Amino acid sequence: MPSVTAGKLCPRGVFVTPRMSHYSAESKQIMRLVAATGAMVEQMSIDEAYLDVTGVIAQKNETRAESMLDCAPVLALARELKRNILAERQLTASIGIASNKLLAKLASDFQKPDGLTLIPDRDKVMFLRPLPVRAMHGVGKVTESILNQAGITTVADLQNYNGDLRALVGSFGPTLRRFAFGEDDRPLEPGESVKSISSEETFESDTLDRKILRACLRDQCSEIASELKRKKIGARTIQVKIRYGDFTTLTRQITVEEPIDVVEDLYRLACFLLAREKLVSRPLRLLGVGVSGFGEAPGRQLVLFH
DNA sequence: TCTGGGGTCCTAGGACCC
DNA sequence: TCTGGGGTCCTAGGACCC
């Protein structure tokens, strides 16, 4: 039963890269239209979202329950969404309709800028067969090469493979096998629950200039602190990331007892991490800070009574 | 492609506790 | 304590995604 839609929204002016601020403002407007469908929405990035339309469709069809079996209502909803986005924002959107995230995403990629593709469940195995393994969610360059070396280049090869994929791709094996048959039980996760926040910058030229580095680190810590404040959370783990001219990339992290959320604390810890092993002894190409391990924002005391 | 930025998840080793 | 095993937390790196 078609219930999940992945919408890929593409600006009509392909050659113009809008400024980020414009882009995110535009994104908000479009996500507003997406939300207006009444579907459950999980926003994946600035221009992508999954929708679970099961509820909306069921509501609309209370009177004729048998039509749940056909996909006309979902198609109608998708067409209306595309129409609204074009009318109100002058943008085209690609929409894929299928029974799960994996297939909905593949469907939305099927016709690039302005598509509407539906993959009925009975067709999914055949739809997947000709695709390269790289099309599978979670298969990147490294995994692709491992699979290719084992003679597996298409999803059909994956479907036909009799061996244990775990020997090739570790714990991803069973999931990859299910993906190859179009099975995907990843749930839709609405709302915003973040697990880490970070900020990093690549310099135009590698630098050892303490003034530049300190200013950069401070800005990044301040950016993160405001985000923590906005979300009313604190972080227990602080990480710094550096990259040298030869692309060697290192991270160092520390976990503290109490969640922190102020610039000074973040900055102090970041400096400490960099200083501890004298990491800034060669010019840096990149400097970054990140936080994770979120908990209650500091200042709020836990009270236990009985 | 001489390689941007913000994320998620997995792995593997070590510390520590029981 | 010349020694087992499991659980949890921390750390560092890497693959992958958008």
Judged by C1' against the alpha carbon of A247, the nearest nucleotide is B3
Q: Quote the CA–CA distance of A270 and A268 in Å, as a whole number.
A: 5
CA separation for the pair A76, A57 (Å, rounded): 10
DSSP symbol at A71: S
**pLDDT at residue A14 tops 50:** no
Q: What is the C-alpha to C-alpha distance for residues A91 and A125, in angstroms, rounded to an integer?
A: 32
pLDDT band at A66; cut points 50, 70, 90: low
Residues 6 or more apart in contact with residue A155 via CB below 8 angstroms: A128, A129, A130, A131, A132, A133, A135, A136, A180
- pLDDT tens per residue, range A108-151: 999 877 899 999 999 999 999 999 999 999 999 999 999 999 99
pLDDT of res. A192: 74
Which of the 72-131 residues on chain A come under 7 Å of nucleic strand C at their beta carbon?
A: 105
Distance CA A185, CA A202 (A): 38
- Cα(A98)–Cα(A141) distance, integer angstroms: 26
A294 CA, C9 C1': Å apart: 15
Q: Which nucleotides of B are covered by protein (CB under 7 A)?
A: 2-11
User: Which tens digit of pLDDT belongs to each residue from A254-299?
Assistant: 999 999 999 999 999 999 999 999 999 999 999 999 999 999 888 7
Which H or E run contains A233? strand A233-244
**Sorting pLDDT into bands at 50, 70 and 90, what band is A101?**
very high
- Here the tokens at position A159 are 């479907």
